[in-house]
């Protein structure tokens, strides 16, 4: 049934969540011709100030939003994809993955000192187990401080001198339009791969949502982004590790190939196990049968099956090298 009623978009209340949700709202309003309203929702991750490693990072930002969607309090959700558990509830579907922003991590300092050159005792703030392990490898003399808080509060701790550096996502800084004068060091993927799904957004709705809403959301989907994040999240699922595991996976699509680099870290940073593999794409099949957002081929075939198989193969290679010994189980 086609309706002109506003589309209600559920989002966390943080400045970053609302900024990225507003971007999706504007794009959806343009393709659907309908008003899109933001519906702020408070999640456990917004109210519990304990470390993510203590409260369990998997789903801590998503669960309350999903409850609101199922209850009918909103029509769609916008998540940072890296915060979503890999197991999708049967009643929900990721209906769109818009074009990915910069997926790199950024080191923020007062004076531009590169991370690996920070002096002994320098304090580096991050709450991510993956980043903690990476910092311990890149800057072993530095002290890692487990922090929470929004982007502005983290930047303020560097400006005040409480911390010498923080590690942030480039995508978040860009979406907020941060104009901080602090120095930025962008970290390359070869030595500093990032979290599965980092830089990407997921637009989630009910699996039985109205056809016109699903069609409008499909217009927001970016094929290269969906291919890449599907590989990354399949690796995470294959390792049976949660969103806060000390592991990284970043995939890039170029022409008719997809390449992924995935690394599992020992929490202390002493050991790491990695793979770097490339696979050819059959784009014609994918485009003919849908990009994986719930549209299946007429014969029931899953057009993303080969992509997930590629990701699972990479996960198996990591496990064969002993990655399970480094990971907490989900």
- The answer to whether residues 228 and 19 touch, using CB atoms and an 8 Å cutoff, is no
- The answer to whether residues 284 and 235 touch, using CB atoms and an 8 Å cutoff, is no
Residues 97 and 109 in one domain: no
For the cut 90, the answer to whether the pLDDT of residue 299 exceeds it is no
CA distance 295 to 95: 10
Give per-residue pLDDT as tens, 70-120: 999 999 999 999 989 999 999 999 999 999 999 999 999 999 999 999 999
H or E stretch including 65? helix 63-70
Number of other CB atoms surrounding residue 306 within 10 Å: 15
Number of other CB atoms surrounding residue 140 within 10 Å: 12
* Residue ending a domain, choose from 138, 154, 186: 186
Which tokens in the block code for residue 96? 């769109």
* Average pLDDT in the chain: 88
**Confidence (pTM):** 0.88
pLDDT for res 329? 58
* Residue ending a domain, choose from 186, 204, 222: 186
Number of other CB atoms surrounding residue 54 within 10 Å: 9
Give per-residue pLDDT as tens, 21-62: 999 999 999 999 999 999 999 865 544 444 545 434 546 679
Task: Name the residue with tokens 């929470």.
Answer: 148
CA distance 133 to 264: 10
pLDDT for res 268? 81
Residues 33 and 148 in one domain: no
pLDDT for res 243? 67
Task: List the catalytic residue out of 4, 26, 83, 102.
Answer: 83
| Residue-number span of the structural domain to which 74 is assigned | 7-101+196-326
Of the chain, the percentage scoring pLDDT greater than 70 comes to 86
**Does residue 21 lie within any of the structural domains?**
yes
Catalytic site includes residue 208: no
**Does residue 191 lie within any of the structural domains?**
no
How many structural domains are present in the chain?
2
């Amino acid at each position: 049934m086609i309706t002109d009623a506003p589309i209600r978009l559920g989002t966390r209340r943080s400045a970053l969540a609302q900024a990225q949700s507003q971007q999706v709202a504007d794009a959806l309003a343009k393709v659907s011709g309908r008003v899109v309203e933001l519906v702020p929702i408070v999640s456990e991750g917004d109210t519990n100030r304990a470390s993510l490693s203590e409260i369990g990072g998997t789903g801590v930002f998503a669960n309350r939003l999903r409850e609101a969607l199922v209850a009918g309090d909103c029509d769609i959700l916008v998540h940072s994809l890296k915060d979503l558990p890999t197991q999708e509830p049967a009643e929900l579907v990721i209906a769109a993955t818009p074009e990915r922003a910069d997926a790199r991590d950024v080191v923020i300092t007062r004076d531009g000192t590169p991370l690996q050159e920070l002096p002994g005792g320098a304090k580096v703030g991050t709450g991510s187990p993956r980043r903690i392990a990476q910092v311990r490898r890149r800057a072993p003399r530095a002290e890692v401080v487990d922090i929470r808080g929004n982007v502005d509060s983290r930047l303020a701790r560097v400006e005040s001198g409480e911390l010498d550096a923080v590690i942030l996502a480039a995508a978040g800084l860009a979406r907020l339009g941060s104009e901080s004068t602090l120095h930025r060091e962008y970290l390359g993927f070869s030595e500093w791969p990032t979290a599965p799904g980092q830089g990407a957004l997921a637009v989630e709705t009910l699996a039985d949502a109205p056809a016109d809403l699903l069609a409008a959301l499909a217009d927001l989907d970016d094929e290269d982004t969906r291919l890449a994040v599907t590989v990354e999240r399949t690796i995470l699922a294959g390792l049976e590790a949660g969103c806060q595991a000390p592991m990284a996976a970043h995939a890039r699509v170029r022409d008719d190939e997809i390449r992924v680099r995935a690394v599992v870290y020992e929490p202390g940073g002493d050991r790491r196990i990695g793979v770097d593999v490339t696979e050819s794409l059959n784009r014609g099949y994918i485009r003919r049968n849908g990009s994986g957002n719930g549209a299946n081929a007429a014969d029931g075939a899953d057009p993303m099956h080969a992509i997930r198989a590629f990701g699972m193969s990479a996960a198996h290679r990591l496990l064969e090298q002993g990655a399970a010994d480094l990971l907490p189980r989900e």
